[in-house]
Amino acid sequence: MTIEILMPALSPTMEEGTLAKWVVKEGDSVSSGDVIAEIETDKATMEFEAADEGTIGKILIEEGAEGVKVNTPIAILLEEGEDASAADAAPAAAPEEKAEPQEDASSEIEHEKAPAAAKPAADTPAPTPDVPEGTSFKSQTVREALRDAMAEEMRRSENVFLMGEEVAEYQGAYKISQGLLDEFGAKRVIDTPITEHGFTGLAVGAAFGGLNPIVEFMTFNFAMQAIDQIINSAAKTLYMSGGQMGCPIVFRGPNGAAARVGAQHSQDYAAWYSSIPGLKVVQPYSAADAKGLLKTAIRDPNPVIFLENEILYGKTFDVPEIDDFTIPFGKAKIWREGTDVTIVSWGIGMTYALEAADALTEMDISAEVIDLRTLRPIDYATVINSVKKTNRCVTVEEGFPVASMSNHLAAHIMAEAFDYLDAPVLSCTGKDVPMPYAANLEKHALTTTQEVIDAVRAVTYK
């Protein structure tokens, strides 16, 4: 009985990878633990070891192949006594559909509703002009955009430095800081011990002392260990000092749920930080916004919380090719215009919002989709103007429902546009439960595209 060696998932969010190199060739015998190939993920190149004993009967995927989906058979292993003919008899590489990522919310719609518009909404070009007409764009991941933003700002000012766990020699736990150590050296790209409370306070002191630190949290879940320094020291000192002593600092890193990492690594802190006067809070969705807003954050004279998302790191968007591209805080982006309902979201919530808007088009419901981009300050005017036009609003986020940003937005819309509303503002949020591990439970613990569709249908009475 031959054994199929499958393309491995080498990180919680890996969906595909490059088979960089075969270390073995057909006919080689291997034992469990032998390195057989090098696999390049979006984060790193990793050695892939054999799990079983046997002889490499057939290599199915040649080295150098890019975009190999997780779980695709990449080689056939012959067990003792088998010969190469057994490998030939083995089934060819499975169709790529097999590797459809489970966390992809679009798969859910396909099962339940099967909307015709399957085109990923993320590729839709931006209608709101952040850039002059005629600007050329390049395709870039959120990960690359964040790296470029930091590199550009570090070139611009000697006082900008990056500090955090594994940001330097390891090139970033999620490879956001890839290449920065090489360019800027160990003085400005600093690996810290695992000591969030300590290095956060130290960075705040460095900001008081005239520097512009970028603090990377491996995840914002770990920043809870440091939250006293963020709130009590960074956010409040300007006020407590009567305007004398500011704290120009950026706290950034992945926030919210990734995939299958359980309750302690999956919380969205947008509402926590957004409730603090003295902080600015950014939660970008696209790569262009990640770049333009991070550059603005690094130049901002205040403490800025920059909430990224691990699932979005590998997503590709068009990024304008402009020298020194920045986006001001407090300016929402209208991703698509519509007339029947306003969907307000930000960060990864935009994935559901845009997918739902596509599906709703098929139902003759025209949704206007607004990406807030920054949560403090909030561009209330864009939201209110839209609601006055559509008379209905649905908010979408992955955070917990109680005391959420959605609650805040609903209250504000009620106060400012009550007479324009034809239905209550509905919120699609993460569920009021700690994040479960099981794949099926996790999917339901977050909000879903279907919930957004259902909410829109409820407020439009369709």
Partner 1 sequence: MATRKAAAKRPNASREELLAYYRDMLLIRRFEEKAGQLYGMGLIGGFCHLYIGQEAVVVGLEAAAKEGDSRVTSYRDHGHMLACGMDPKGVMAELTGREGGYSRGKGGSMHMFSEEKKFYGGHGIVAAQVPIGAGLAFANKYKGEDTVSFAYFGDGAANQGQVYETYNMAALWDLPVIFVIENNQYAMGTSVQRSTHSPSYWERGAAFGIEGREVDGMDVLAVKEAGETAVAHCRAGKGPYILEVKTYRYRGHSMSDPAKYRTREEVQKMREERDPIEGIKAMLLTGNHASEDELKDVDKEIKAIINESAKFAQESPEPALEELWSDIYADELPQEAAV
The residues assigned a catalytic role are 196, 265
Contact map string, positions 330 to 369, toward partner 1, x by CB under 8 A: x---------------------------------------
Residue 82 amino acid letter: E
Indicate the pairing of strand 137-141 with strand 316-320: antiparallel
Contact map string, positions 224 to 263, toward partner 1, x by CB under 8 A: ----xx--xx---xxxxxxxxxx-x---------------
What is the rounded end-to-end Cα distance, in angstroms, of the chain? 55
Number of other residues whose CB lies within 10 A of the CB of residue 182: 10
Residue 170 CB, nearest approach to partner 1 (Å): 17
The DSSP-derived string for 354-416 is HHHHHHHHHTT--EEEEE--EEES--HHHHHHHHHHHS-EEEE-SS-STT-HHHHHHHHHHHH
Q: Which of 126, 176, 206, 413 touches partner 1 by CB under 8 A?
A: 206
The DSSP-derived string for 239-290 is HHTTTS----EEEEEE-S--SS--GGG----HHHHHT-TT-EEE---SHHHH
- 324 half-sphere exposure, CB direction, 13 A CA radius: 3
Residue closest to 78 by CA, chosen among 61, 60, 54, 58: 54
Kindly state the tokens that stand for 230: 């963020």
Residue 290 CB, nearest approach to partner 1 (Å): 21
> Of 74-82, 134-142, 201-209, 341-349, which segment contacts partner 1 by CB under 8 A?
201-209
Q: For partner 1, give the closer residue by CB, 418 or 461.
A: 418
Residue 363 amino acid letter: M
Indicate the pairing of strand 303-308 with strand 280-282: parallel
Q: For partner 1, give the closer residue by CB, 178 or 233.
A: 233
Residue 317 CB, nearest approach to partner 1 (Å): 27
Residue 240 CB, nearest approach to partner 1 (Å): 4
Per the CB < 8 A criterion, the answer to whether 400 and 303 are in contact is: no
- Residue appearing with tokens 């500090």: 163
Residue 423 CB, nearest approach to partner 1 (Å): 22
Contact map string, positions 153 to 172, toward partner 1, x by CB under 8 A: --------x-----------
Kindly state the tokens that stand for 68: 């190999």
Residue 192 CB, nearest approach to partner 1 (Å): 7
Per the CB < 8 A criterion, the answer to whether 401 and 427 are in contact is: yes
Contact map string, positions 270 to 309, toward partner 1, x by CB under 8 A: -------xx-x-------------------xxx-------
Positions 396 through 425 that interact with partner 1 (CB under 8 A): 412, 415
Q: For partner 1, give the closer residue by CB, 331 or 444.
A: 331
Indicate the pairing of strand 426-428 with strand 393-396: parallel
Q: Which of 134, 193, 364, 402 touches partner 1 by CB under 8 A?
A: 193
Indicate the pairing of strand 249-254 with strand 212-216: parallel
CA distance 324 to 412: 34
Q: Which of 101, 262, 320, 377 touches partner 1 by CB under 8 A?
A: 377
Collect all residues with Cβ–Cβ distance below 8 Å to 97 and sequence separation of at least 6: none
Question: Is 376 a binder of partner 1 (CB under 8 A)?
Answer: yes
Residue 253 CB, nearest approach to partner 1 (Å): 18
Residue 410 CB, nearest approach to partner 1 (Å): 13
Q: Which of 150, 181, 204, 307 touches partner 1 by CB under 8 A?
A: 204
> Of 11-19, 204-212, 308-316, 353-361, which segment contacts partner 1 by CB under 8 A?
204-212
**Three-state secondary structure call for residue 1:** coil
Positions 27 through 86 that interact with partner 1 (CB under 8 A): none
Q: Cα 105 to the chain's mean position, in Å? A: 14
Give the CA distances from residue 252 to residues 199, 204, 280, 324, in Å, rounded to whole numbers and listed in that order.
Answer: 14, 14, 12, 20
CA distance 407 to 418: 15
Question: Is 197 a binder of partner 1 (CB under 8 A)?
Answer: yes
Q: Which of 57, 201, 254, 430 touches partner 1 by CB under 8 A?
A: 201
Q: For partner 1, give the closer residue by CB, 292 or 338.
A: 292
- Residue appearing with tokens 């005629």: 134
Interface residues with partner 1 (CB under 8 A) are: 161, 187, 192-193, 195, 197-211, 228-229, 232-233, 237-246, 248, 277-278, 280, 300-302, 330, 376-378, 380, 412, 415
